[in-house]
Amino acid sequence: MVKQSEKLAEKIAALNEKLKAAKAAEVAAADAELVRLAHRAGFAKVRDFARQAAGQAVRRQSAAGPAAESPLQWNR
């Protein structure tokens, strides 16, 4: 019984490592895409591009009305 739980713990640890690696790869791909889009849009700094995109998303969501807003925004 102890060996089974140890094997299970090892499998869980291995799966967690695979998940972390997959998340890291996904984040790296998203970062690369953000940089590519920022440079295509003519922004010298990715931070400025991200700030503008976030502002546009907030404006779009506000224009859609309260039904489109998340519960976190209801308190504003």
What pLDDT sits at residue 72?
53
Print pLDDT tens along the chain (76 aa): 678 888 898 999 999 999 998 998 898 888 888 878 877 877 767 777 777 777 776 676 666 555 555 555 545 4
What pLDDT sits at residue 15?
92
Joined together, the tokens standing for residue 75 give 């308190």
What pLDDT sits at residue 4?
86
Q: What is the pTM of this model?
A: 0.46
- Cβ(33)–Cβ(49) under 8 Å? no
Other beta carbons within 10 Å of 41: 11
DSSP annotation of 75 = T
What pLDDT sits at residue 30?
85
